[in-house]
Amino acid sequence: MKYRRLGRTSLKVSVIGIGGGSFNPNKDPNLTIEEANEVISHAVKSGANLIDTGKEYDEKFISKAMGKNKERLHIVTKSEARNKKEMIRDIKDSLKKLGVGCIDIYQMHMVQSVEDFGDRLKNGVVEGLHEAKKNGWVNFTGIFSHRIEVLIEAMKTNDFDVVTVLYNAGHTLAEKLFKYTKKYDVGVLVAAPLGNGILADPKVEEERPNPGAEIMTVQNALKFILSNNNVSSVLVGSRRLEHAEENFDIDKIEWNLPETERRKITEKIKSFLGEKFCRGCRYCEPCAEFGGSLPISDILKLKILYEKYGYKKFAKWQFSFKQKAQGIKPCTGCGKCEPRCPYGIPIVKELQKAYEILSD
């Protein structure tokens, strides 16, 4: 495992970190502590020294899953608190659930817009982070948002030591952010390196119907990101041990790709997925209808698994499960999501096609 400096924190972090989103028993009731521990233990043995979690991931579960590995891991967690009181409360709650005296990095989470960021700033959320840092509850502060314009504004305040951003071979808007993280010496953690699960063949069925999926590999996805030296660590989720073995087996990967080779990877991806595919950036969400509960990105991901990868049974089964578990209703066709998509995807048309092919 290789290590990089995490901005002005000066922490040396593994280039591959553990994404805690895979360890959420609230979304995956079949997940056990033993399974999660097996994955985390393999990652740590491979050299990983960073784990990302959050209040909505179930910090108590992840704390148990870390077990003895906890002492060897830098912990990153986060809260969607909207004012100082909520932030202080959430930090104290995280300390208790994680069973630690101090959290390495605590982040403001899921900031939806520049206006949302401004409101939280006025309501003392950042002040709460700084107070926690002063009290020794938190070592460093951070922010995570799906929207690049939010993170750019956050960098300009110089209040954050670390930023978590969506960045991958399909979704490259983060490259606009890196000049700011470099200017302010802010560490960069990358989330969703596999584009919500569509940039690498998930191998969810025994046979691989589409031979074109051979180019869609975890290694290609990670090569693209880590050949950008602005990135400190990539947070990779692994639900099972075999996933961890693939995700953390980096000895065979040559990171230092020239720009021409990086662009070849993006071109191969476009040749397989097409020009206008859902990157899972979630700019289109929340949906204007149904109280924001329509998971647009998740539905379009299943459409990709069905059409491009050929995993038809799996995609239909997953869609049926989501319909029953989340009460998903058909898109009304209002189109309010489309202007928000940075890639010009005809979302309404794509959703209508998804319902057509995925519904029994």
pLDDT tens by residue, 86-114:
999 999 999 999 999 999 999 999 999 99
Domain assignment present for 280: no
For the chain, what's the residue count?
360
Burial class (CB in 10 A: 0-12, 13-18, 19+), 245: middle
Residue 101 sits in the same domain as residue 147:
yes
Instruction: Indicate the residue among 270, 298, 328 that finishes a domain.
Output: 270
The neighbour count for residue 153, using CB atoms within 10 Å, is 19
Instruction: Indicate the residue among 239, 270, 301 that finishes a domain.
Output: 270
Residue 260 sits in the same domain as residue 329:
no
Determine the structural domain holding residue 211 and report its residue range: 3-270
Count how many domains the chain has.
2
Residue 251 pLDDT greater than 60, yes or no:
no
**DSSP for 230-264, written as a single string:** T--EEEE--SSHHHHHHHS--TT------HHHHHH
Domain assignment present for 55: yes
Q: Report the C-alpha gap between 257 and 238 in whole angstroms.
A: 25
Residue 11 pLDDT greater than 70, yes or no:
yes
Instruction: Indicate the residue among 270, 301, 331 that finishes a domain.
Output: 270
Q: pLDDT at position 291, please?
A: 65
Domain assignment present for 218: yes
Domain assignment present for 302: yes
Q: What CATH number should be reported for the domain holding residue 217?
A: 3.20.20.100
Better-predicted residue by pLDDT, 203 or 26: 203
Among 75-84, 263-272, 324-333, the range of highest mean pLDDT: 75-84
φ and ψ at residue 204, rounded to 5 degrees: -90, -10
Residue 242 sits in the same domain as residue 306:
no
pTM comes to 0.94
pLDDT single digits (tens) 158-190: 999 999 999 999 999 999 999 999 999 999 999
SS3 assignment, position 35: helix
Domain assignment present for 277: no
Banded model confidence at residue 52, pLDDT cuts 50, 70, 90 = very high
Residue 211 sits in the same domain as residue 117:
yes
Domain assignment present for 278: no
Domain assignment present for 282: no
Domain assignment present for 313: yes
Residue 27 pLDDT greater than 80, yes or no:
no
Burial class (CB in 10 A: 0-12, 13-18, 19+), 214: exposed
Going by the DSSP 8-state scheme, the letter that residue 101 receives in this structure is S
**DSSP for 111-170, written as a single string:** --SHHHHHHHHHTTHHHHHHHHHHTTSEEEEEEE-S-HHHHHHHHHHT--SEEEEE--SS
